[in-house]
């Protein structure tokens, strides 16, 4: 599996229906891949945005520009996408050691159609003059770079172009995908190190791998600083084949370990649950398509075993589908708003509880940390606002904006921030995060979670014990 840099990633995404948009509220670009996001199918057929026939590249450019200018939650200066495309192309060509790059100038225009044509002309010039020097995929690569430049021009980390390969990884993350692998969550730290967390009852854990190990090499290839999707590709493979990982414990680079692991078909659950000390402990890795059903099962199992309280662990959970956040919150919130979104025109849309509350889920503690983001913050914020849970841990990530995902003709997607959201009490958490009711600092090493050294989990149990007196 993958995740982005848990703060790392986070932004899982799924194109739920071809040609449809998807509301995305994650902050990563993988599965815990680093630490990441979610989506909800909404109405809207973007196929209507494309003119039939013609070259795909001009269609992609035209679509990116129009969607960015029409849907982005803030006004976009016409100069911004033009400068973004040209800058990205120049940087890429220079990185490929192509000298004397000379692209035609494009003039900003209030007419989006004129501006679109100028952007397409710049790309066509780059392809005709430099594409052949980049190899057989040169024109395709330049199209992708141009799209990334246009989307990145607004300087919003959540407004991006996603290639078909990236979309496939996000789909697998949110769908719990079936693939040949070893059963780990993969994260990337800010310094480029790759860290893994084995999943219960899967090959990596059976081979003895511990949570929080740093991966040095995969089949002899160094992976520090490598893109997460490429690391994931190295680790995955045909079921029955073997992959070798060299690792070392978190912050202990001298103690290298080597694992030879036979790949199996992996279905990654989003919930890990158990009864411990009389409490129902539920750890949710992301808000995927099956998450609500998995959480419901864990809650009902805990009730049937006489749980004295519930712990919902959302640490390192980068978010996911908005619908999943509403559904999971609704197990605890009988009625009222779960989250409200506000678009660029100030129009407010509320997502109410769905009426599927499970009675008796008290007392409840939610564990959070700096990598609790997006959909996780929606759930945490709603339950805190309604005084239905005690939040314990450290301040959350602070992602208070939502994205729509639009499929493109190349089977990639445009992810665009279209609105901001607020909690039921009207709190805007963008760049602010949610402060827990009880602050308990803890080392960021994910290997500490759910171990005897987990101070935050110990504090959760102490809180439940106090509430049961």
Active site residues: 374, 385, 399
Kindly compute the dihedral angle of the four CA atoms of residues 447, 448, 449, 454, in this order, to the nearest 10 degrees.
170
- 412 burial (CB, 10 Å; 0-12 / 13-18 / 19+) is buried
Nearest to 214 by CA among 249, 183, 187: 249
Long-range contacts of 160-165 (CB under 8 A, 24+ apart): 160/29, 160/414, 160/415, 161/64, 161/408, 161/412, 161/413, 161/414, 161/415, 162/13, 162/29, 162/405, 162/412, 162/413, 162/414, 162/415, 163/412, 164/410, 164/411, 164/412, 165/229
Nearest to 397 by CA among 419, 438, 368, 437: 368
Gap between the Cα atoms of 188 and 166, Å rounded: 16
Task: Report CA-CA distances (Å) from 85 to 6, 82, 124, 277.
Answer: 28, 5, 12, 57
The single residue listed with the structure tokens 């670009």 is 29
Task: Report CA-CA distances (Å) from 48 to 57, 145, 346.
Answer: 17, 24, 26
């Amino acid at each position: 599996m993958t995740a982005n840099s848990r703060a790392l990633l986070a932004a899982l995404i799924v194109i739920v229906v071809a040609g449809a948009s998807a509301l995305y509220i994650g902050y990563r670009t993988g599965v815990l891949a680093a630490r990441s996001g979610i989506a909800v199918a909404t109405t809207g057929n973007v196929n209507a945005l494309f003119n039939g026939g013609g070259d795909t590249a001009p269609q992609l450019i035209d679509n990116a520009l129009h969607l960015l200018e029409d849907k982005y939650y803030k006004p976009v200066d016409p100069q911004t996408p033009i400068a973004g495309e040209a800058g990205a192309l120049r940087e890429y060509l220079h990185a490929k050691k192509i000298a004397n790059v000379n692209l035609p100038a494009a003039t900003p225009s209030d007419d989006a159609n004129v501006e679109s044509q100028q952007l397409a002309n710049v790309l066509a010039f780059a392809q005709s003059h430099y594409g052949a020097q980049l190899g057989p995929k040169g024109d395709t690569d330049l199209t992708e770079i141009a799209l990334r430049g246009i989307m990145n021009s607004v300087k919003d980390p959540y407004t991006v172009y996603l290639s078909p390969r990236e979309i496939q990884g996000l789909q697998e993350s949110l769908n719990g995908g079936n693939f040949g692998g070893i059963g780990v969550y993969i994260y990337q730290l800010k310094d480029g190190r790759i860290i893994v967390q084995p999943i219960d009852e899967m090959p990596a854990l059976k081979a003895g791998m511990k949570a929080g190990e740093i991966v040095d090499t995969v089949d002899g290839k160094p992976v520090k600083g490598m893109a997460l999707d490429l690391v994931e590709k190295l680790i995955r493979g045909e079921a029955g084949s073997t992959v070798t990982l060299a690792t070392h414990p978190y912050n202990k680079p001298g103690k290298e370990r080597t694992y030879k692991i036979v790949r199996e078909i992996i279905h990654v659950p989003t919930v890990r649950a158990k009864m411990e000390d009389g409490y129902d402990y539920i750890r949710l890795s992301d808000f995927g398509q099956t998450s609500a059903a998995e959480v419901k099962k864990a809650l009902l199992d805990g009730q049937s075993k006489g749980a004295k309280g519930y712990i919902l662990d959302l640490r390192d959970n980068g978010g996911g589908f908005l619908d999943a956040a509403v559904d999971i919150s609704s197990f605890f919130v009988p009625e009222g708003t779960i989250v409200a979104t506000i678009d660029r025109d100030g129009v407010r849309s509320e997502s109410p509880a769905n009426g599927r509350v499970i009675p008796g889920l008290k007392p409840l503690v939610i564990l959070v940390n700096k990598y609790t983001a997006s959909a996780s913050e929606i759930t945490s914020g709603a339950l805190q606002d309604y005084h239905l849970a005690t939040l314990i841990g450290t301040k959350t990530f602070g992602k208070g904006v939502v994205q729509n995902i639009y499929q493109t003709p190349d089977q990639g997607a445009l992810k665009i921030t279209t609105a901001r959201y607020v909690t039921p009490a009207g709190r805007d958490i963008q760049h602010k995060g949610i402060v827990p009711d009880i602050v308990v600092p803890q080392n960021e090493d994910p290997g500490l979670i759910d171990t005897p050294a987990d101070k935050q989990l110990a504090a959760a149990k102490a809180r439940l014990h106090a509430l049961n007196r």
